[in-house]
Amino acid sequence: MGQLNAELNYNVKAELNTTPNAAQPTWSDLGVMMKNISQAINEVLYQASYLSDGGYGSTEVTGGQYTVTLTGDKKVGDPVSDYIFNPDVQYKWGSARKTQLRLVKGTQTIIWNVTLANITDAGGDSNQPNAVTLTIHGNGKPIIGTVADDTSSKLKSLSIGALVLNPAFGNGQYGYTASTSNASDIVTAEAEAVGGVVAIALDGVAVVNGEAAAWALGQNILVITVTNGTNVSTYTVVVTKTA
């Protein structure tokens, strides 16, 4: 028998939409702050014993609800950490707790409408990171699809004035941070392939490619989406403006 390859947990990427009210989702990596993920379907079972089966039973799976429990460390400045522990999310109910979760396994994606529950800002020993837990409940049926595995919907280049992107730009790197004291900077993005259409949005408001984006004090979420046919790639830059 040939050697079997195990699926390691860090190869499954879990992302949270940290701008659920924006025109385009901002998929931010939960793995930056979370160290452990536990998934369950919580299946609903229908069990019956029919006369013809001589006392033996049968089971049908008739439904279920997806849940995932995560544990990790609170990290100020990380988009997911700042989103979850924003008072407008952590201390509010109903729609304030609703967003989307995306699981990426190779080129397969599973997207769930979800509710954030049991947000726990746990604290701990004085010389240890603030330990946190979060439970995510799926709402309804997921969307199962694929992500592009070629360059058709990727960026060739991305620049924001003279700002330094962290990490350095690469077309397979989808999340960045940058700092500025400028009031605005020109955002320029070029698609890798002919036919790739670039759209830029700042906190959900469209920005013309090659023109200036105006920064508010604090964090600004810049989303660059490249669409080419059915392939779509999303790049996110968190720009922090200081006084």
| 32 and 118 inside one domain | yes
Judge if 191 and 108 occupy the same domain. no
Q: Name the domain count of the chain.
A: 2
At 89, which helix (H) or strand (E)?
Answer: helix 87-90
Q: For residue 31, give its domain range.
A: 9-40+65-146
Is the same domain home to 72 and 95?
A: yes
Q: Are residues 30 and 142 in the same domain?
A: yes
Q: Which CATH number covers residue 190? A: 2.60.40
167 in the same domain as 127: no
Q: 126, 146, 166 — which closes off a domain?
A: 146
CA distance 160 to 177: 11
Cα distances from 159 to residues 37, 169, 178, in angstroms, run 35, 9, 11
Burial classification of residue 92, based on how many CB atoms lie within 10 Å of its CB (0-12 exposed, 13-18 middle, 19 or more buried): exposed
Same structural domain, 29 and 94: yes
Q: Is residue 80 part of a domain?
A: yes
- pLDDT for res 134: 96
- pTM to 2 decimal places: 0.64
Distance CA 173, CA 231 (A): 16
Same domain, 185 and 109: no
Per DSSP, the three-state class of 68 is: strand
| Single residue among 121, 146, 171 that ends a domain in this structure | 146
Give the position of tokens 């079972």: 45
Single-letter amino acid, residue 48: A
Other beta carbons within 10 angstroms of residue 191's beta carbon come to 23
Closest CA to 221 of 201, 238, 207: 238
CATH of the domain at 79: 2.30.110
Nearest to 113 by CA among 101, 105, 121: 101
- Is 30 domain-assigned? yes
Residue 56, in any domain of the structure = no
Q: Three-state DSSP class for 76?
A: coil
Per residue of the chain (243 residues), give pLDDT as tens: 566 667 777 778 898 998 898 766 778 889 889 999 999 999 999 999 999 999 999 999 999 999 999 999 998 888 899 999 999 999 999 999 999 999 888 778 888 999 999 999 877 888 888 999 999 999 999 988 766 555 678 899 999 999 999 989 987 788 899 999 999 999 999 999 888 899 999 988 999 999 999 999 998 999 898 888 767 788 889 999 998
Q: Is residue 219 in some structural domain?
A: yes
Q: Are residues 109 and 32 in the same domain?
A: yes
Residue 113 forms beta bridges with which residues?
Answer: 100
- Residue that is last in its domain, among 146, 177, 201: 146
